[in-house]
Structure 1
Amino acid sequence: MTNFSRRGAMGLLGGAATLPMLGTPALANTKMTVGALRFTSHAASFVAFERGYFADEGLDVEFKFFQAAQPMAVAIASGDADYAVTAISGGLVSLAEKGAAKVIGGALSEEKGIDGQKILASNAAYEAGLTSPAALGGKNYAVTQAGSSFHYMGSKISAAEGVSVKFKPLQKVGAIIGAMKSGQVDAWSIVPHIAKGLAGAGAVKIIGNVADYIPNYQVTTVFTSANNAENERGQTEGFLRAFSRGADDFNAALVDKTAGDQAATDMVKLIHKYVYADRPFEKAEKSIRNGAMRINQNAGLNMSSVQDQLDWFKSEGLIKDSITSETLVDSSYAPTI
């Protein structure tokens, strides 16, 4: 993982979130670490940082970057990160059950009419007949870990098609990409900025859309330690307010496209500092634009989707049957949708 810090970054102001106002700012130079992946789907945090929305709340933010969801959940529980955005995983739920973590809002969502996560086949598997999700039976489906969002998606997709797949845990997204390119695994599902980039380069084939199998899927959530949720309310509300302003800017520029062409270009340039930063802008731009899925307004959380994910974890024996949505979610911070 890598760290990146910039204090007091300022820029254009975006739409104001409707979370409770506590003053301007409510805090003063409160240092915190925010966990993230180098994905377009984490753009709300990057925008809040670069445009000074965290600074407006008195938050001095440092990013800590991860390559999978489970290690991020562990970092929140251990205090190595204060807030983070990632998918619900079995590890996160178990940490919540132990009183170490709480989901406080929603982030990335599948939404009808917006191009979302893709189902991929390796070239070798495609040539052997894996041209649609209906042909997944007996195939190797890549996941980071058991109980990850990839595991959930693959299980829901294969169940809907009435077939059985073999899940292959590879720990990191980078390792999965390598395995897909070499044909060591047959299938995977991933956010569009990665899926379309790989397919456009001829490395994989797109064979379906996740939203066709899991409509209105709450892909990622905002979460923190149980201690922060319970005892650091001002700080937590300040974080969510800044995060929500970043989401508003992102959605207006790249999802709803109401902010104009220049705002869209500016947004892509901002995100490029964090996503595909090792590529020239001209090569990264299309992939970043392709990754523009909805980030929920005001960190709203789709509780029906959260419940479906918890029910799946229970059906797989990955979490205790006694765990409820209240175990995982502190619903006092953000609206439910």
Structure 2
Amino acid sequence: MKRGLFAWAFAGLSAAAALPAFAQTPVSVGILSAVSDAPLFIADKRGYFRDEGLAVSMTVFRSGATMVAPLGAGQLDVGAGSASAGLYNAIARGINIKIVADKASSAPGYGATKLLVRKDLIDSGRFKTIKDLKGMKIGMNAPGVSNTSTLNSILTAAGLKYSDVETVNLNFPDHVAALANKSIDAACTVEPPATSAITAGTAVEIMRDDQADPHHQIAVIQFSEAFAARKDIADRFMRAYLRGSRYYNKALKDGRLAGETADDVIQILTEYTPVKNRDILRRMTPTGMDPNGTVNQKSLQKDLDFYASQGLIEGKIDLDKIVDNSFAERAAKALGPYK
């Protein structure tokens, strides 16, 4: 996997064989080096991009929001991250970025975003129900991103407001240490840090995203305006991406990476992400992912409305002009029904 200029830190083979040969076309992709980037890593490792004549380079960004500027400037072709308030504000300013496919969503049993509470607060009786979160410090990662909407759904269902808690923004891996040293009381965090904290005995899982907000659209694939206009190349990219997504889906079983392709997917994740502990990868709750890449626009609208209620949206946003499922639809049709 190549590192690019903007780095912050660090369907079957038979179907592919029927595709025509192409010259290797460079495509730049922004990633988070997260488990939900698995389809991209799989497509790279297993040669799906190469089958489509693409030379894909992946650049690690700190967050989806930091991909927006290079996407808008055409310095990045594809972004893989959350549909954040920052993305919507950039679009409101005239930057034409398209949301084109699902990257992570909370299908039943696959809620990889979790609300954790410190175990000592549960043992002491300080925390008994969601209502006891009032006044607590909750670890988040940034305002205007998908897990803030998850937390809001959890709080409002219990009769609380988002303002009833104090949010503390930390990088997701830092949530584990913050729970252990008691600098936060709870965390709305993601996998695998969630399982790391639970395994360490410092936190207890209270609720998952698939329980609080079923089918929540957590992260998406985004195309820059220039890349979307190169329809043939964009279609080739999407075919390779969906092949990776379908291979990932075959690794899912009973809310774990325990399916047919799990061993291979876990090996790929240890090669492409900072997570080297295979046991954690086997024990965690993996994110869901639509094998046809369909974006849940209703879920995006719910998040957008919450961001707006927080005063984070600067202009009028029409998701009908931003979400474009046509690339995923063509790719799914070319690959055939997912089995």
State the TM bucket, normalised to the shorter chain.
0.7 to 0.9
What CA distance in whole angstroms lies between the structure 2 residues aligned with 1:13 and 1:53? 9
Counterpart of 1:316 (choices 304, 310, 316) is 310
Going from structure 1 to structure 2, the CA distance change for 1:261 and 1:146 (only over 3 Å counts) comes to: closer
Q: CA deviation at 1:71?
A: 1.4
1:299 aligned onto 2:293 = yes
1:241 aligned onto 2:239 = yes
Root-mean-square deviation over aligned CA pairs: 2.9
Going from structure 1 to structure 2, the CA distance change for 1:152 and 1:296 (only over 3 Å counts) comes to: same
Q: Deviations over 1:304-331 (max 9, x none)?
A: 1112112222222211462111243234
How does the TM-score come out when normalised to structure 1? Answer: 0.83
Query: Where does residue 169 of structure 1 map in the other structure?
Result: 169
What CA distance in whole angstroms lies between the structure 1 residues aligned with 2:222 and 2:188? 23
What CA distance in whole angstroms lies between the structure 1 residues aligned with 2:2 and 2:237? 19
Counterpart of 1:135 (choices 123, 127, 132) is 132
Q: CA deviation at 1:38?
A: 2.5
The answer to whether the Cα contact below 8 Å between 2:116 and 2:187 also exists between their aligned partners in 1 is: yes
Q: CA deviation at 1:234?
A: 1.5
Going from structure 1 to structure 2, the CA distance change for 1:15 and 1:304 (only over 3 Å counts) comes to: farther
Query: Where does residue 273 of structure 1 map in the other structure?
Result: 271
- Segments of 5+ residues of structure 2 without an aligned counterpart are 5-10, 331-339
Q: CA deviation at 1:13?
A: 4.2
The answer to whether the Cα contact below 8 Å between 2:294 and 2:328 also exists between their aligned partners in 1 is: yes
What CA distance in whole angstroms lies between the structure 2 residues aligned with 1:310 and 1:15? 41
What CA distance in whole angstroms lies between the structure 2 residues aligned with 1:285 and 1:14? 30
What CA distance in whole angstroms lies between the structure 1 residues aligned with 2:72 and 2:122? 41
Query: Where does residue 224 of structure 1 map in the other structure?
Result: 223
SS in 1 for 2:139: strand
Q: Deviations over 1:196-244 (max 9, x none)?
A: 2220122322122222221111111111212222x21112111111110
What CA distance in whole angstroms lies between the structure 1 residues aligned with 2:56 and 2:282? 23
Counterpart of 1:41 (choices 13, 36, 43) is 36
How does the TM-score come out when normalised to structure 2? Answer: 0.83
Aligned amino acid, residue 275 of structure 1: T
- Segments of 5+ residues of structure 1 without an aligned counterpart are 6-11
Going from structure 1 to structure 2, the CA distance change for 1:16 and 1:135 (only over 3 Å counts) comes to: farther
Query: Where does residue 9 of structure 1 map in the other structure?
Result: none
Higher mean alpha-carbon deviation, 122-131 vs 36-45, is at: 122-131
The answer to whether the Cα contact below 8 Å between 2:74 and 2:226 also exists between their aligned partners in 1 is: no
1:159 aligned onto 2:148 = no
The answer to whether the Cα contact below 8 Å between 1:197 and 1:287 also exists between their aligned partners in 2 is: no
SS in 2 for 1:245: helix
Equivalent pairs counted in the alignment come to 317
What CA distance in whole angstroms lies between the structure 1 residues aligned with 2:189 and 2:78? 23
What CA distance in whole angstroms lies between the structure 2 residues aligned with 1:285 and 1:15? 33
What CA distance in whole angstroms lies between the structure 2 residues aligned with 1:237 and 1:306? 23
What CA distance in whole angstroms lies between the structure 1 residues aligned with 2:182 and 2:269? 31
The answer to whether the Cα contact below 8 Å between 1:152 and 1:309 also exists between their aligned partners in 2 is: yes
SS in 2 for 1:103: strand
SS in 1 for 2:214: coil
What CA distance in whole angstroms lies between the structure 2 residues aligned with 1:260 and 1:178? 28
Aligned amino acid, residue 243 of structure 1: Y
The answer to whether the Cα contact below 8 Å between 1:194 and 1:287 also exists between their aligned partners in 2 is: no
The percentage of aligned residue pairs carrying the same residue is 26
Query: Where does residue 113 of structure 1 map in the other structure?
Result: 109
SS in 2 for 1:220: strand
SS in 2 for 1:118: strand
Going from structure 1 to structure 2, the CA distance change for 1:154 and 1:309 (only over 3 Å counts) comes to: same
What CA distance in whole angstroms lies between the structure 2 residues aligned with 1:311 and 1:177? 30
Q: CA deviation at 1:276?
A: 3.8
The answer to whether the Cα contact below 8 Å between 1:15 and 1:248 also exists between their aligned partners in 2 is: no
The answer to whether the Cα contact below 8 Å between 2:39 and 2:242 also exists between their aligned partners in 1 is: yes
Query: Where does residue 7 of structure 2 map in the other structure?
Result: none
